[in-house]
Structure 1
Amino acid sequence: MTASRPHALFSFGTLMDERVQTTLFGQAVPTSPASLTGCTTRPLAITDPSVIAASGLDVHLTLEREYGAVVEGAVLRLTDQDLAAADAYEVDDYVRRRVLLSSGERAWAYLDAKPLRPAARIVIVGDSIAYGRCDPQGGWAARLAATHIAGNEAEHRVFQLAIPGSTLAEVSEQTPALLAPRLPDTLIVAAGINDSAVPLSAPELDGLAHIADSLGSLAAAALDHHARLVVVGPTWLDEERTRDYGGLRFTKARALAVREAIRVWCQENHIDYLDMWEPLYEKTDLLVDGLHPAADGHEALYQHLAALGC
């Protein structure tokens, strides 16, 4: 890969076609065979006339997770301009994300825009809300697990590893050692509300300073295990009802700052971000203590998450 072609893009479909390359990039681009483990493909109907005209096909392929499977394709070496043209070519059903190829090379690939739809083996890490505190049914994560496993009992798995009280820094430290035995293809990180907490003994401490480093570490760990990172944002809290938890004070302003910091980092680093603020917004009756959702609150979170991610 030369300095003028800094981007490696894994293609398993129409971008391998030299006619499509010529249409998009003005010429055929340097290409070499490559493969992606842990995936298979499924058809995706295309309705965009310009994409159909460029490829000559109204059905393209998208990736589906399948442990032990391999997708054969090619790595395209692209310039900045080429990559922008490829982004414009792909329809809204796809998003560009990092993948780890069978060779060990990291590359871009266009994946399903709904990050949980192609998932098979999901690991969930996070805090007390992800854990399901205050809900005897296990919270939104347990609802997600039930639906996901019911979809394919033989192949689908969900590993709920959230720990109440965890910050993003703690999650980033604990998670790498948990992944290998579970063979995940999707890592859901649902933490952040504890990062918004202000210590009453030291209110000048900035709990936001480590967010980028923590998310970067989690992204690297996920990619090392061929897993797609999905970050779930913090939920709305009722500041008038939250009490001090172990010398910590939770405020809406700080929670919003964490939410924005996570959203911006995910956008800049091409990581899936699922915003969870709105389902509970100003619905204080769905919260037990102003912070933790009741059973109805978790149901609302699950329905919102399912619409965004599945």
Structure 2
Amino acid sequence: MTESRTHTLFSFGTLRDDRVQTALFGRAVPTSPAALAGYTTRPLKITDPAVIAASGLDVHLILERRLGASVEGAVLHLTDQELAAADAYEVDDYTRRRVVLSSGATTWAYLDAKPLRPADRIVVVGDSIAYGRCDPRGGWAGHLAAAHIAGNEAERRLFNLAVPGSTLADVGEQTPALLTARRPDTLLVAAGINDSAVPAAGTTARADADLAVHSGSGSVSGSDSDSDSDSDGTDDFARLTGSLDTLAATALGHNARLVVAGPSWLDEDRTRDYEGLRFTRARALALRAFLRAWCEANHIDFLDLWEPLRERTELLVDGLHPSAEGHRALYEHLDALGR
């Protein structure tokens, strides 16, 4: 029989109530005082009758980022089953993510399910699409920056540090040194499409070998269908796990929330070869499936950017990079998902 683990969960609201704990867990659970730096709270209207019945309240609080602020609460010590019960208790507006307490200890906490909505200071890292190539207005990140900062000019910031041509390994290596001065509460990673490239037809054996060394695998998997069932080959992207783990640790080290944006749709009939490499939908779909699975397994937010450009080849300049209108479509989709 598998022994239940003990989990710690930060609560600043109704989960500290003995009556709520008894209703959820069948007991009052061990707790200890704690504080969460870099956060404040705002009210959230609750409509779920079961949650209202358990707490006796139709307005709960939800965490929001605020530099210099702090939220007082308590750490609950829960078994596997009790943590699952706490997950079931929280309404869809909340999601469980890792945070760093004022003491320096890491713990679970329930945050806003829309990861960009509570953000104050966002750092974007990634590749040429995140950089905004083919859009003089700065691409989807430029639109996001304008809308985000307009909401609170005094407090909000967005730093776009994306570099064209970057792989996830590049981003994982370069990002740690860039964050301290910018004091982010949210790290938005939009990279990986360059990791999905395959040798173009007619390239030399050396190009094939270089790709195999870079990727850790010479195989090409998946098919040319937009169906997720055809996105086999996620194992080929297992080499990216180390870079993602590094980015997760880097974000947590700054008490920032990691958000991963998946690849956007591409028209491989129009994508040209780049330095002996080419991009295919099958590989992009396999990358998308891998990133989504990694995020789910690690309780990291995944924002899927595939659908806004799907079959809309007129919104792509070269089959891969969005036009200005394409970037606008990506921003509107990202805004709906994240804010």
TM-score bracket, normalised by the shorter chain, equals over 0.9
Q: Is it true that 1:43 corresponds to 2:43 in the alignment?
A: yes
2:264 matched residue in structure 1: 235
Unaligned 5+ runs, structure 2? 201-206, 218-235
Deviation at 1:208, TM superposition (A): 2.0
- For residues 249 and 4 of structure 1, the distance between their equivalents in structure 2, rounded to whole angstroms, comes to 48
Q: Secondary structure at the match of 1:208?
A: helix
Q: State how many pairs are aligned.
A: 308
> Which has the higher mean CA deviation after the structures are superposed, 207-216 or 262-271?
207-216
Residue from 249, 262, 279 that aligns with 1:220: 249
| 8 Å CA contact retained: 1:14, 1:55 | yes
Distance 1:184 1:247 in 2: 37
1:140 aligns with 2:169: no
Structure 1 segments, 4+ long, off by >6 Å, are none
Q: Does 1:75 align with 2:92?
A: no
The alignment status of 1:304 with 2:333, answered yes or no, reads yes
The Cα of 1:107 is off from its aligned counterpart by 0.5
1:208: which partner in 2? 237
How far apart, in 2, do the equivalents of 1:24 and 1:104 lie? Answer: 28
Q: Which amino acid aligns with 1:128?
A: S
1:11-68: per-residue Cα shift (whole Å, max 9, x none)? 0100011110000000000100011000000010101010001001110000011100
2:177 corresponds to which letter in structure 1?
A: A
What secondary structure sits across from 2:38 in the alignment? Answer: strand
Matches within 5 A, 1:1-310: 4-200=4-200, 201-202=207-208, 204=212, 205=215, 206=217, 208-310=237-339
Kept in 2: contact 1:169–1:210 (CA 8 A):
no
Q: Secondary structure at the match of 2:29?
A: coil
Q: CA deviation at 1:123?
A: 0.3
Deviation at 1:6, TM superposition (A): 1.6
CA distance in 1, matches of 2:155, 2:57: 31
The one-letter code of the counterpart of 1:24 is: L
Structure 1 residue 216 displacement after superposition: 1.0
Q: CA deviation at 1:5?
A: 4.7
Q: Is the contact between residue 211 and residue 262 of structure 1 (CA under 8 Å) also seen in structure 2?
A: no
- Give the Cα separation in 2 of the matches to 1:211 and 1:71: 35
What is the CA–CA distance in structure 1 between the aligned matches of 2:4 and 2:85, rounded to whole Å?
16
Q: Deviation at 1:209?
A: 3.3
Q: Secondary structure at the match of 2:35?
A: strand
- Alignment partner of 1:71: what SS? strand
Q: Distance in 2 between matches of 1:4 and 1:188?
A: 34
2:78 & 2:95 partners in 1: Cα distance?
17
Mapped partners of 1:184, 1:242: distance in 2: 35
Asked if the contact 1:131–1:163 (Cα under 8 Å) also holds between the matched residues in 2, the reply is: yes
Amino acid at match of 1:210: R
Cα distance in structure 2, aligned partners of 1:211 and 1:33: 38
RMSD between aligned residues: 1.1
Q: Distance in 2 between matches of 1:199 and 1:10?
A: 48
Q: Report the counterpart of residue 223 of structure 2 in structure 1.
A: none
SS at match of 1:210: helix
Kindly state the Cα deviation for residue 4 of structure 1 after the two structures are TM-superposed. Answer: 4.6
Distance, in Å, in 1 between the alignment partners of 2:239 and 2:184 is 25
The letter for the 1-side match of 2:43 is: P
Q: Is the CA contact 1:232–1:275 (under 8 Å) kept in the aligned structure 2?
A: yes
Q: Percent identity?
A: 74
- Asked whether the equivalents of residues 38 and 65 of structure 1 are also in contact (C-alpha less than 8 Å), the reply is yes
Within 2, Cα distance between the matches of 1:87 and 1:193?
33
- The one-letter code matched in structure 2 to 1:262 is L
Contact 1:124–1:161 at 8 Å: present in 2 too?
yes
Shift of residue 215, structure 1, vs aligned partner: 1.1
The secondary structure found in structure 2 opposite 1:209 is helix
